[in-house]
Amino acid sequence: MNFHLRNIALFSFSQDSDYTDIISPFSRIYLITEGAGSLHIGNNKIPLEAGNMYLIPAFESCTYFFGTGLSHYYIHCSIDLPNGLSPFSIYSCKFKIKATTPDYYLFDRILGLNPDLQLPHHHPEVYQKKSG
């Protein structure tokens, strides 16, 4: 399995932010540390809540709402099997799980090892064009 870390940072929203119909060529992992928002994947509306982690597989159409004060770690990554397939096209996954104490430590550690991998801009339509 190949894992490529594209971006990681801890980011806080200073105002409400909406992102509609986002489709990314990489997977996203969020660890919400404060605040609230929502994530729409297909017909599922998933509340973004502090203390939870969220997975959005690559090429999954989604809509986000991040409320003022929402703070989160984000990881953008590519995960491929040796045959070139994504594990998310083969296996089902949960979009939301409860974060544990080691999860917070691991996100902080990965960020500490990769301090310059933050996004160049927080809006997906901007940074996907810059990195594409």
Q: Write out pLDDT tens, residues 54-107.
A: 999 988 999 999 999 999 999 999 988 787 777 776 667 788 999 999 999 999
In tens, the pLDDT along 101-128 reads 999 999 999 999 999 999 876 655 554 4
Concatenated DSSP letters for 94-130? -SEEE--HHHHHHHHHHHHH-TT-S-SSSSHHHHHHH
Please tell me the total count of domains within the chain.
1
3-class secondary-structure state, position 32: strand
Both tokens assigned to 22: 């986002």
CATH code, 11: 2.60.120.280
| Residue 43 · residue 107 · CB < 8 Å | no
pTM of the model: 0.87
Q: Which domain holds residue 122?
A: 2-131
